Chains A and B, each alone.
Chain A
């Protein structure tokens, strides 16, 4: 029956990890805006491409995209 104790504490440890992950996610602002990411998901070509180090270095315009 002591295996039961082991299992209980193992499950609690795993659950605590997930709780910690959740707390981290909230703290890092992932729950601040629950609306825009759902729209962003539908867009390809992530806007962050071409930004390195948070320092703006915009890429060359992509001429192939020019169509209406």
Chain B
């Protein structure tokens, strides 16, 4: 890419000999397999990594490799973007750039590849690699880099290409353009910091003034000191009450207007009572007021909120289909091809879609052979073949050679996007969910107001002068400081604990919803089975290493998914033989000459028709259009590979003949994620399970065995069917958790009480959800559920602890005996106790649930698949 021409002399020609297979690549740390490069005594897994290495060292950036071991990213994978030229388009830049003038422009690129300190260093030293690039700042938690550059010297597309060539491919999707330039979030964050700062300022200074009063020293300085302290305290408390506590007033007002009692109501009530009482006491000269308790209370509350506000900036929980689309496609024009932003597509445009690229809008096939993988959209696991003139729906991914299509609908009106018109997407998430905290706070508020009223009425008859004081004292003491801290701290701690295990929660309240789940709905393709990998097992007389090498070379020539799986299964360890001739017949198979041998690979029917069928066992080919025979191979039941755990009915098979003789066949199975087998038995007993798949029913038996007889299993479910199924469950009073991965689950994930999106790698696209879970962490789902139940119990216990405090405090207050000193001691003490209790117990629960396993579990397949230490619950 562009980096190659940036003045890097590649004087050292790579040594062609392969590196030792066990050596990790110096750049990216992957094992060096065939095709690797040794340069002097440095090992690289591919030419791409080696190029980056020489680019960096050649520009004085060799320090990159000292900052971390093998810090790089593997370069040279297929990129989804057809070049970066569209970035120079004026309309695209207008939306993308943070600001621009004649000599300076600033762009913020999302780079999901950022993962270590060396990345930060390298990207902030980008200016050394290319003249015209200025300062760049990396935001590690958001995985973004803000790059200043001089538009007269370097183009935006060149910067994108440079960054991509280093392995950090910018994530530019259609959603990137729609965003309101990201200034919103910082403003909101800044406000929270300022609120805490102002509250801390008020609290500290009021405390200084109040301390003499606690110790009885104020009498020595005369009554004027009390008055001064009182008025100063009020003056300091005023900005705290108005500005810092502003969110509580607003929240309380909103909940009163909606006529629901949230925890904000008693908080606001308590704050108002304290402030009112203080103003009354100070202005009438009866005392110094409670400004110290008031500011302290607000400060602690805000600190608790700050602690709970752990958001995962780099994960998007609210993405819609736009995040799935690339930013640009290749458009064919009369003069040639151009890269065009998807937002600029018009109906009737002719597009070229290459292997692994996405069809951006409903379109008609003009030329080429379309094999469209809809697995992400519909859940079908096998690609479907479409002929010239047929309609291809948006969201499908082309597999195989390049095709040319003509759009028939705008992007925004495509089949894929129609799901987002459903009413489930209109309402904000979980707005009507009533959590345990809400229920408790409602009860709490009723009791507090009731007791305050009763005591006021009582004192009105017994001693009218005390009535107001008793009423206010009850509200002050009962102000649910401890209560308001218990839930956020417990849930926040739990959320962090889960995040360290690569289970990311949208917010801490998700734990409460999770604890109430009583039904689990699962998606199949991509969730229980992994979409891309499959195990190819050989059935027939064993293949020699030489034969394996030949078949592997053949398979590598085809872009068909089954062929790719076969070549992966064979691996590259067998010496590759040159393929002399190669011919692929759509829907049938491929034939070719490798090292002088004629090889046929394809469906059984095709092999039979080519005269090699004599040895093929009787087959009932189902006439499926996909190549090679997918779907039912029921006729060869029993011929499956020995020891395979599942029935062969779910297999696809590729038959092989060499020199006219039948050799055997490869069985290809959509592999169940290894983790799922550990997970399902644990969930089976505890929750009713339901499987909703967009795929056809051929794997019914297999999943029936896995899920048990009580489970509901439905195939051929459209995205809307899934959504409706969940809605019906909810109508029957169920709390539903949906576990899915693709866009086809987007509606169901949104509708469910808890939506769990399973992703291969954190940071890649996932539909809107509550929880983002790395696939390798799937077996932990059972533990996460158990943990959420425990966390909910901790919250309840926290409520009881603070409730006891309140009971003691309220009874003293209602008796009219409360002195300011007792109040000043009781309030912080209860808060500190609850804080310690919440954090301590949650950590202990987490330790008990997850065991003492290392905190950081990376997404690597090894280790992560190991089930947790024993069943969490007995």
Q: A8-B232, A32-B186, A33-B140 are in contact. Are A65 and B63 (CB under 8 A)?
A: yes
Residue A23 CB within 8 A of the other chain: yes
Q: Give chain B residues whose Cβ lies under 8 Å from the Cβ of A6.
A: none
**Binary contact track A1-21/B, C-beta < 8 Å → 1, others 0:** 100110010011001101100
Other-chain residue from B26, B132, B205 in contact with A15 (beta carbon distance below 8 A): B205
New A-B contacts (20) at CB < 8 Å, excluding given A19-B197, A35-B141: A4-B221, A15-B201, A26-B190, A26-B194, A27-B190, A31-B190, A32-B139, A32-B190, A33-B140, A33-B142, A36-B120, A40-B120, A43-B117, A47-B121, A47-B127, A56-B131, A56-B132, A56-B135, A65-B61, A68-B42
Q: Give chain B residues whose Cβ lies under 8 Å from the Cβ of A32.
A: 139, 186, 189-190
Closest CB-CB distance, B8 to chain A, in whole Å?
10
* Shortest Cβ distance from A62 into B: residue: B60
- A26 and B306 CA atoms in complex are apart in Å by 15
- A64 and B25 CA atoms in complex are apart in Å by 24
- A44 and B135 CA atoms in complex are apart in Å by 16
Other-chain residue from A16, A23, A26, A36 in contact with B139 (beta carbon distance below 8 A): A36
Q: Give chain A residues whose Cβ lies under 8 Å from the Cβ of B205.
A: 11-12, 15
Partner-binding segment picked from B147-155, B338-346, B597-605, B683-691: B147-155
Once the chains bind, are B60 and A33 in contact (CB under 8 Å)?
Answer: no
Closest CB-CB distance, A35 to chain B, in whole Å?
4
- A26 and B191 CA atoms in complex are apart in Å by 9
Once the chains bind, are A33 and B141 in contact (CB under 8 Å)?
Answer: yes
Please provide the chain B residues from 110 to 144 with a CB less than 8 Å away from any CB of chain A in the complex. 117, 120-121, 124-125, 127-128, 130-142
**Binary contact track A36-68/B, C-beta < 8 Å → 1, others 0:** 100110110101101100111011011111111
Other-chain residue from A11, A58, A68 in contact with B128 (beta carbon distance below 8 A): A58
Closest CB-CB distance, A21 to chain B, in whole Å?
10
Q: Give chain B residues whose Cβ lies under 8 Å from the Cβ of A42.
A: 117
- A63 and B141 CA atoms in complex are apart in Å by 32
Other-chain residue from B127, B137, B138, B193 in contact with A31 (beta carbon distance below 8 A): B193
25 A-B contact pairs sorted by A residue (CB < 8 Å)? A4-B225, A11-B205, A12-B232, A29-B190, A33-B141, A36-B140, A43-B120, A45-B63, A47-B121, A47-B127, A47-B136, A54-B135, A55-B134, A55-B150, A56-B131, A56-B148, A58-B128, A58-B131, A61-B59, A61-B60, A65-B62, A65-B63, A67-B57, A68-B26, A68-B42
- A56 and B104 CA atoms in complex are apart in Å by 9
* Shortest Cβ distance from A28 into B: residue: B190
Q: Which B residues contact A (CB, under 8 angstroms)?
A: 26, 42, 53, 57-63, 65, 67, 103-104, 117, 120-121, 124-125, 127-128, 130-142, 148-150, 153, 186, 189-190, 193-194, 197-198, 201, 204-205, 208-209, 221-222, 225, 228, 232
- A10 and B149 CA atoms in complex are apart in Å by 48
Q: Give chain B residues whose Cβ lies under 8 Å from the Cβ of A43.
A: 67, 117, 120-121
Closest CB-CB distance, B29 to chain A, in whole Å?
14
Once the chains bind, are A50 and B148 in contact (CB under 8 Å)?
Answer: no
Once the chains bind, are A66 and B57 in contact (CB under 8 Å)?
Answer: yes
Q: Give chain A residues whose Cβ lies under 8 Å from the Cβ of B117.
A: 39, 42-43
* Shortest Cβ distance from B61 into A: residue: A65
A-B pairs, top 4 by smallest CB distance, nearest first, are A56-B134, A47-B124, A61-B60, A36-B140
Once the chains bind, are A55 and B104 in contact (CB under 8 Å)?
Answer: yes
- A43 and B125 CA atoms in complex are apart in Å by 11
Q: Give chain A residues whose Cβ lies under 8 Å from the Cβ of B127.
A: 47, 50-51, 56, 58
Q: Most chain-A CB neighbours within 10 Å: which of B63, B131, B150, B208?
A: B63
Closest CB-CB distance, B130 to chain A, in whole Å?
8
- A12 and B121 CA atoms in complex are apart in Å by 42
Closest CB-CB distance, B199 to chain A, in whole Å?
11
- A67 and B132 CA atoms in complex are apart in Å by 26
Q: A31-B190, A39-B117 are in contact. Are A11 and B42 (CB under 8 A)?
A: no
Q: Give chain A residues whose Cβ lies under 8 Å from the Cβ of B186.
A: 29, 32
Once the chains bind, are B62 and A68 in contact (CB under 8 Å)?
Answer: yes
- A62 and B130 CA atoms in complex are apart in Å by 14
- A8 and B222 CA atoms in complex are apart in Å by 16
- A8 and B210 CA atoms in complex are apart in Å by 12
Q: A43-B121, A66-B57 are in contact. Are A23 and B197 (CB under 8 A)?
A: yes
- A68 and B117 CA atoms in complex are apart in Å by 17
Once the chains bind, are B204 and A15 in contact (CB under 8 Å)?
Answer: yes
- A48 and B190 CA atoms in complex are apart in Å by 25
Once the chains bind, are A56 and B62 in contact (CB under 8 Å)?
Answer: no
Once the chains bind, are A26 and B141 in contact (CB under 8 Å)?
Answer: no
Once the chains bind, are B103 and A67 in contact (CB under 8 Å)?
Answer: no
Q: Give chain B residues whose Cβ lies under 8 Å from the Cβ of A45.
A: 63, 125
Once the chains bind, are A35 and B208 in contact (CB under 8 Å)?
Answer: no
* Shortest Cβ distance from A43 into B: residue: B121
Once the chains bind, are A66 and B58 in contact (CB under 8 Å)?
Answer: yes
Closest CB-CB distance, B222 to chain A, in whole Å?
7
* Shortest Cβ distance from A39 into B: residue: B117
- A64 and B209 CA atoms in complex are apart in Å by 60
- A28 and B767 CA atoms in complex are apart in Å by 34
Closest CB-CB distance, A22 to chain B, in whole Å?
5
Once the chains bind, are A51 and B120 in contact (CB under 8 Å)?
Answer: no
Closest CB-CB distance, A57 to chain B, in whole Å?
8
Closest CB-CB distance, B462 to chain A, in whole Å?
41
Q: A1-B222, A26-B193, A26-B197 are in contact. Are A48 and B128 (CB under 8 A)?
A: no
Q: Give chain A residues whose Cβ lies under 8 Å from the Cβ of B132.
A: 56
- A16 and B204 CA atoms in complex are apart in Å by 12
- A39 and B149 CA atoms in complex are apart in Å by 24
Closest CB-CB distance, A29 to chain B, in whole Å?
7
Q: Give chain B residues whose Cβ lies under 8 Å from the Cβ of A65.
A: 60-63
Q: Give chain B residues whose Cβ lies under 8 Å from the Cβ of A5.
A: 228
Once the chains bind, are A47 and B193 in contact (CB under 8 Å)?
Answer: no
Once the chains bind, are A23 and B194 in contact (CB under 8 Å)?
Answer: yes
Once the chains bind, are A51 and B221 in contact (CB under 8 Å)?
Answer: no
Q: Give chain A residues whose Cβ lies under 8 Å from the Cβ of B62.
A: 65-68
Q: Give chain B residues whose Cβ lies under 8 Å from the Cβ of A15.
A: 201, 204-205
Q: Give chain A residues whose Cβ lies under 8 Å from the Cβ of B209.
A: 8
Closest CB-CB distance, A6 to chain B, in whole Å?
12
- A42 and B134 CA atoms in complex are apart in Å by 22
Once the chains bind, are A56 and B133 in contact (CB under 8 Å)?
Answer: yes
- A26 and B341 CA atoms in complex are apart in Å by 37
- A51 and B858 CA atoms in complex are apart in Å by 37
Q: Give chain A residues whose Cβ lies under 8 Å from the Cβ of B135.
A: 47-48, 51, 54, 56
Once the chains bind, are B134 and A51 in contact (CB under 8 Å)?
Answer: yes
Q: Give chain B residues whose Cβ lies under 8 Å from the Cβ of A61.
A: 58-60, 128
Q: A43-B120, A55-B150 are in contact. Are A19 and B201 (CB under 8 A)?
A: yes
- A29 and B104 CA atoms in complex are apart in Å by 21
- A34 and B134 CA atoms in complex are apart in Å by 23
Once the chains bind, are B150 and A56 in contact (CB under 8 Å)?
Answer: yes
Q: Give chain A residues whose Cβ lies under 8 Å from the Cβ of B198.
A: 19
Once the chains bind, are B149 and A56 in contact (CB under 8 Å)?
Answer: yes
Closest CB-CB distance, A58 to chain B, in whole Å?
4
* Shortest Cβ distance from B103 into A: residue: A55
Closest CB-CB distance, A62 to chain B, in whole Å?
4
Closest CB-CB distance, A24 to chain B, in whole Å?
11
* Shortest Cβ distance from A35 into B: residue: B141
Once the chains bind, are B153 and A39 in contact (CB under 8 Å)?
Answer: no
Q: Give chain B residues whose Cβ lies under 8 Å from the Cβ of A59.
A: 128
Closest CB-CB distance, A2 to chain B, in whole Å?
10
Q: A56-B134, A65-B63 are in contact. Are A33 and B204 (CB under 8 A)?
A: no
- A62 and B140 CA atoms in complex are apart in Å by 26
- A27 and B205 CA atoms in complex are apart in Å by 23
Other-chain residue from B53, B137, B140, B197 in contact with A35 (beta carbon distance below 8 A): B140
Q: Give chain B residues whose Cβ lies under 8 Å from the Cβ of A18.
A: 201
- A18 and B205 CA atoms in complex are apart in Å by 12
- A51 and B137 CA atoms in complex are apart in Å by 13
Q: Give chain B residues whose Cβ lies under 8 Å from the Cβ of A11.
A: 205, 208
Closest CB-CB distance, A66 to chain B, in whole Å?
5
* Shortest Cβ distance from B142 into A: residue: A33
Q: A33-B141, A56-B153 are in contact. Are A68 and B65 (CB under 8 A)?
A: yes
Q: Give chain A residues whose Cβ lies under 8 Å from the Cβ of B197.
A: 19, 22-23, 26
Q: Give chain B residues whose Cβ lies under 8 Å from the Cβ of A29.
A: 186, 190
